[in-house]
Amino acid sequence: MKLHVKKGDTVKVIAGNSKGSSGKVLMVYTDSNRAIVEGLNKVKKHQKPNAKNTQGGITEKEAPIHISNLMVVDTKGNATRVGRRIEEKSNKLVRYSKKSGEVIK
């Protein structure tokens, strides 16, 4: 299944605790339709001491957000829906902003 969100996209959260904030997509989980967005949906994780973290304690990390709660932000900074079309010059399938019509890189 094709998703409207890809790694490296700038997205805006439209629902949930982080509603209204935006960030860059770090990772997309296609099997569960979720994405990790940089700096958003932070959760506290209790960790036991180990070789990496000898102190242990409580750390904060980003948790996955369902992609239905994310909208791609185009180059002008507007949250927009994403469409797909074949570009005439290169004859390749590209994603484009439904609001402005420009290609999303």
pLDDT tens digits for range 34-71: 999 999 999 999 999 999 889 999 999 999 999 999 99
* pLDDT greater than 80 at residue 13: yes
CB 45 within 8 A of CB 39: no
What gap in Å lies between CA 36 and CA 39, rounded to an integer?
9
Instruction: Assess if residue 3 is contained within a domain.
Output: no
Domain with 74 in it: 10-97
Sign of CA pseudo-dihedral 48, 53, 56, 62: negative
* pLDDT greater than 90 at residue 1: no
pTM of the model: 0.83
CB 45 within 8 A of CB 60: yes
pLDDT band of 26, cuts 50, 70, 90: very high
Instruction: Assess if residue 105 is contained within a domain.
Output: no
Where residue 39 sits, what CATH number does that domain have? 2.30.30.30
* pLDDT greater than 90 at residue 12: yes
